[in-house]
Structure 1
Amino acid sequence: MSIADFSGRVRPDACPGALQVHEAADGPLARVRLPGGAVSAAQLRELAACATDLGSGVIELTSRANVQVRGLRSATAFAERMAFVGLLPSAAHERVRNIVASPLSGRGPAGLLDTQPLVEALDQALCACLRLAGLPGRFLLALDDGSGDVVGLGADVTFVGGTGRLLLAGRDSGLSLRGEAAVSYMIAAAEAFLDERESASALDTEVRQESASVRDGEAQRDRTAWRIGELEDGAARIAARLGGVAVDSPPFAPETRGAGLTEQRDGRVALEAVVPLGRLTAAQARAIAAAAESGVAVRLTPWRTVVLLDLPPSHADHVARALDAAGLVTDPASPWVGVTACTGRPGCAKALADVREDARRWVADRDGPTAMPVHWAGCERRCGLPRGPVIQMVATADGYVAATDGHVTTTD
C-alpha cells in the first residue's frame, strides 16, 4: 500500500505489523493488533515467550491497545507463533485491524453496552472484506460503551452505546443506530473512506499535471489521506453516503485512566494496573496471565494500562498484591499514574536522550501523581503523545524543555 507524497514519488504505509516489521535502531519491531485490547492468558504467555526467545524481552503497549515486540531475531518465526495462538487471523488485514473499545465493556457504573460482541463482529466483518485490506494502517475504529471513555480518542469511525450515535472523525453523522446495525454502518463508512480517498488522489494527480511548472514544495497539498479527518469535507460526504447529515459534535475530553478497583454492576470488580512506561516484562505478562484464569478477562487499554474484569471481590486484593509484586502498579496514588514516554535511546535513532531512564528517575523523586499527565519525548516529533492536556518533557540537545500545547504528531 502506498500514497504519493508532494513531489509525486511513492511513499509506503510504514505502519508495522506482525508481517511487515519496522527496522528500528534496536532491530526489527513487530506490532500485533488486539481488537478491543482483548488478549487471553494463553496468548499473553506466548507473547512473553516470543519476547524472551526472539526479541528484547519486553512487550510494549501502544496507544491503541495493541502490543509490539522489539529487537526480533526472526520476524518469520514470530509471525508463525502469533498465527498459531490466533493473533494473526488474516495476513491481508493484519495491519488494519485497528479497533479500540471501552475496556470495562459495559460493566462499569456509566456503561450501557457490552462492546465485546461488537468488537468480535466488527473484526470478522473487516477481515471478510478484501477491499478493506487497503485501509491505511492508521485508520481507527472505536466502540464506546456509553461511558465516553474512548470517544475522545478521535477515531475515524466511532459508535457510541446508549445514544447509538455514529461519529466520523469526531463529527456526528446524524445517524442513530441500534447496536446490531453498528457493524454494517462502520464497515460501510470505512469503504466510503476508501472511495473518497481514491477520488481525492485522482484529483490531486490532475492538479499536479496541470501545475507542472510549479516548483516542488510549492505544489498543492497532497489530497490522498490516511484518516477521514484529513479529507477535505470527508466526514460530511461520508455521512451523506450513509444517509446522514454530519454536524459538529460537542468536544469530548479524552479519558485519563489510572489504577485501582472499579465495582462492576454485577457485584464483581475490575482491577486496573498501570504498566510503567508501557513496557511489560515477560514475567509481568505471565503474572497477568496467571490472574486471568477461571473466567477473568484481560483488556489492554489505550492508556497503556491492563484491566482484569470479573474478579470476585474476595480475590481482588490477592490479585492486586500479585501484580504489584511483579512490578505493575495498582495504587491510584502512585506517581506512575499518568506518566508515559516514547521509545527514546537506544531504540530510536532520532531520540536525543534515554527518556525512559530519565522518566524513571523523575518518578522516583515524587510522592504521588501529577494533576496533569506527563509525557517524556526524545525529540520534537513527540511520538506516543496522549491526547488532551499533557505536560510534555521534550528532549533537546541542551536538556529538556517543558511544553503544554497538546500538539499530537503520532497516535500509535
Structure 2
Amino acid sequence: MSTALRPSACPGLLRIVPALDGGICRIKLAGGAISAAQARAVARAAERFAGGVIEATNRANLQIRGIGAEHRALIAELLAAGLGPTTAAGDDVRNLMLSPTAGIDRQMIVDTRPLAGQILATLQSHPRFHELSPKFAVQLDGGEALAMLEHPHDLWLSAFDSAGELRLAFGLAGCPGDLPLASVAREEGHALVVAVLELFLDLARPEQTRMRQLLAEHPADELLARLSARLPGALGAVDEWARAAPAEPLHIGSYPQREPGRVYVGAVAPLGRLDPGMLRGAAELAEQWGDGSLRLTPWQSLLLPNLRAEDAPAVIQRLESLGLLCAPQQALAHLIACTGSSGCGKALADTKGDALQLAALFQRRGRCVDVHLSGCARSCAAAHVAPATLLAVAPGRYDLYFRDAAQPGFGTLHARQLSLEAAGALLDARPRSNTDD
C-alpha cells in the first residue's frame, strides 16, 4: 500500500506526527469497534515500537504515543491486523461516528451498521472524497440511548419514526440535538451523504475545510435547494424534533441490551489513557465472556458487548483489577484532560497530573464533577463543551469557565489564574445541577 499522503498536522495510521514525547499514530476504528485480536496487535505495537501509551480518543478511536524511529514497522504491524484503510488516501476520511451500542441498544430505532459500512466504503474508494480535510466528520445516529449528542459534525443523520416510516433527519455543522434541516427516506441515507460531500467539494474554496465555513457564505436554504436537485427522492420536513440525551452516564457500568439476558459493560480509561496490559486484558475478557470484540466510545471508554447478565459482576471485577473505572461514583471517571505539557509543546500545564490531584480532592469530598482540563485553547481532548472547563494559563494555574449556550468557546469566564486548590474549591461549592451531567 502506497503511503503518499497530503501534508497534514493530524495523525493517522499511515502518517505519524511528532510530539514532545515521540510520534503519534491514530488508528481509526469503523464504528468504534475492534476485535480482540486487533486490540492485542495495538498493545503489541505500543510495546515494541513506542513508549507503551495508548489513548482512547473523543471520537472513539485509538492512538499510540511515544513512537520511536521504527515508523514503518509499527504501520506494517497495524496494517497486518486489518486496522488500516482500503486505500492509503482513504485513511484521513474515515471519520464516521456511531453510537457505541449500535445494533444492540434497547432504544435504537434502526441498526446503523449496514449503512455505516456503505458510507465508509464510499469514503475510502471515492477518490474525490480524499480531498476532504482529516477533520471533516459525519455522525450517524440510530436513536440509541447511549449516544454522544454534543459533538459537532459537518454532517449528521439521525433516525426517527414518521407515521410508521423510518426516516433520517439531517443537519449541517451541528449535532442531533439541533433542529434538522430536512429528512430523507431511510434507504436514501447513503445517497444523501454522497450528495452532501460532493456539494461541499463543488462549492468550498481550498481554505474552507469545514461545513461551518461554507455555511458562512452559502445559507442553509441555498444548500438545501441544491441538495434537493441531486437526490433521487424528495426531501421531507421534520415537524417535531426532540432528540433527548441520556439522563445517566450509560457508558460506565453494566446495562441491558436489546436481546434479553444480554448486557454490555462499560469501563473508562483513566483520563483516556490505556497501557498495553489494560488493552490486552480487556481483549481477553471479551473473548472469554463476550463475543470477542470491544467498542470504543466518545467518552474515552470501552465497552464489552454481548455478555450474559450473570457474568457482568465478574467482568467488572476483572476490568477494575486492570485499572479501568467501572463505577459512575468514581470522580476520576468524570474528568477529561489533554496530553498536557509532558507530551505537547503547546500545553501550558501538566493537565494529566493536575487532573489526578483534582479527582482525589473530589473523591475525598464525595463529589463527581464533569470537568475538562485543557492545556491550551485548542481543546484537543474534548470535541464538546464540558459543564466546567479549566484552561491552563501557566503551570498549575487555570482560568475557570462554565458552559453557557449563549457564549462561544468554553462558555462564561468565572475566575482567572486559579491554583488547582482554589479551582477545586470553587467547583466543589458549585451547585450540583450546574456542573454534574
Normalising by the smaller structure, the TM-score range is 0.7 to 0.9
Q: Give structure 2 stretches of 5+ with no counterpart.
A: 1-5, 162-167, 229-234, 411-437
CA separation of 1:263 and 1:247: change in aligned 2, threshold 3 A: closer
Q: 1:189 Cα shift? A: 1.2
Q: 1:175 Cα shift? A: 2.3
SS in 2 for 1:242: helix
Q: 1:162 Cα shift? A: 2.8
1:192 and 2:199 matched? yes
Q: 1:386 Cα shift? A: 4.4
Q: 1:12 Cα shift? A: 5.1
2:213 aligns with one of 230, 233, 240: 230
CA separation of 1:319 and 1:131: change in aligned 2, threshold 3 A: same
Q: Which residue of the partner structure matches residue 124 of structure 1?
A: 121
What is the rounded CA distance, in whole Å, between the counterparts of 1:237 and 1:338 in structure 2? 41
Letter in 1 for 2:50: G
TM-score scaled by length of structure 1: 0.84
Q: How does 1:95-106 map to 2 (within 5 A)?
A: 95-106=92-103
1:306 and 2:314 matched? no
CA separation of 1:317 and 1:126: change in aligned 2, threshold 3 A: same
CA separation of 1:253 and 1:351: change in aligned 2, threshold 3 A: farther
Letter in 2 for 1:37: G
2:325 aligns with one of 308, 322, 329: 329
Q: Which residue of the partner structure matches residue 220 of structure 1?
A: none
2:388 aligns with one of 366, 381, 391: 391
1:264 aligns with one of 239, 257, 265: 257
Letter in 1 for 2:82: G
Q: How does 1:7-406 map to 2 (within 5 A)?
A: 13-73=8-68, 74-89=70-85, 90-147=87-144, 149-163=147-161, 164-170=168-174, 172-178=180-186, 180-198=187-205, 201=206, 224-231=207-214, 232=216, 233=218, 235-243=220-228, 244=235, 258-267=251-260, 268-293=262-287, 295-367=291-363, 370=367, 372-397=369-394, 399-405=397-403
Q: 1:152 Cα shift? A: 3.0
Letter in 2 for 1:331: A
Q: Which residue of the partner structure matches residue 413 of structure 2?
A: none
Q: Is the 8 A contact 1:240 1:246 kept in 2?
A: no
SS in 2 for 1:347: coil
Q: Is the 8 A contact 2:251 2:303 kept in 1?
A: no
CA separation of 1:252 and 1:369: change in aligned 2, threshold 3 A: farther
Q: 1:336 Cα shift? A: 1.9
CA separation of 1:237 and 1:23: change in aligned 2, threshold 3 A: farther
Q: Which residue of the partner structure matches residue 219 of structure 1?
A: none
Q: Is the 8 A contact 2:329 2:368 kept in 1?
A: no
Letter in 2 for 1:168: L
Q: Is the 8 A contact 2:59 2:97 kept in 1?
A: yes
SS in 2 for 1:292: helix
Q: Is the 8 A contact 1:228 1:234 kept in 2?
A: no
What is the rounded CA distance, in whole Å, between the counterparts of 1:50 and 1:313 in structure 2? 33
**Whose relative contact order is higher, 1 or 2, with alpha carbons under 8 Å and at least 6 apart?**
1
What is the rounded CA distance, in whole Å, between the counterparts of 1:235 and 1:247 in structure 2? 15
What is the rounded CA distance, in whole Å, between the counterparts of 1:246 and 1:95 in structure 2? 33
Q: Which residue of the partner structure matches residue 426 of structure 2?
A: none
Deviates more, 1:44-53 or 1:260-269: 260-269
CA separation of 1:112 and 1:252: change in aligned 2, threshold 3 A: closer
Q: Is the 8 A contact 2:377 2:391 kept in 1?
A: yes
Q: Is the 8 A contact 2:330 2:368 kept in 1?
A: no
Q: Which residue of the partner structure matches residue 422 of structure 2?
A: none
CA separation of 1:33 and 1:248: change in aligned 2, threshold 3 A: farther
SS in 2 for 1:156: strand
Q: Deviations over 1:49-76 (max 9, x none)?
A: 1111111202111111111111211221
Q: Is the 8 A contact 1:235 1:246 kept in 2?
A: no
Q: Give structure 1 stretches of 5+ with no counterpart.
A: 1-10, 202-223
What is the rounded CA distance, in whole Å, between the counterparts of 1:306 and 1:315 in structure 2? 17
Letter in 2 for 1:55: A
Letter in 2 for 1:260: G
- CA RMSD, 1 decimal: 2.5
Letter in 1 for 2:43: A
Q: 1:390 Cα shift? A: 2.3
SS in 2 for 1:336: helix
Q: Is the 8 A contact 2:53 2:66 kept in 1?
A: no
Q: Which residue of the partner structure matches residue 4 of structure 1?
A: none
Q: Deviations over 1:299-319 (max 9, x none)?
A: 101111111111111211111
Q: Is the 8 A contact 2:295 2:303 kept in 1?
A: yes
SS in 2 for 1:350: coil
TM-score scaled by length of structure 2: 0.79
User: How many residues get paired?
Assistant: 374
What is the rounded CA distance, in whole Å, between the counterparts of 1:325 and 1:109 in structure 2? 29
What is the rounded CA distance, in whole Å, between the counterparts of 1:309 and 1:408 in structure 2? 35
Q: Deviations over 1:209-238 (max 9, x none)?
A: xxxxxxxxxxxxxxx322112212364444
Letter in 1 for 2:282: I
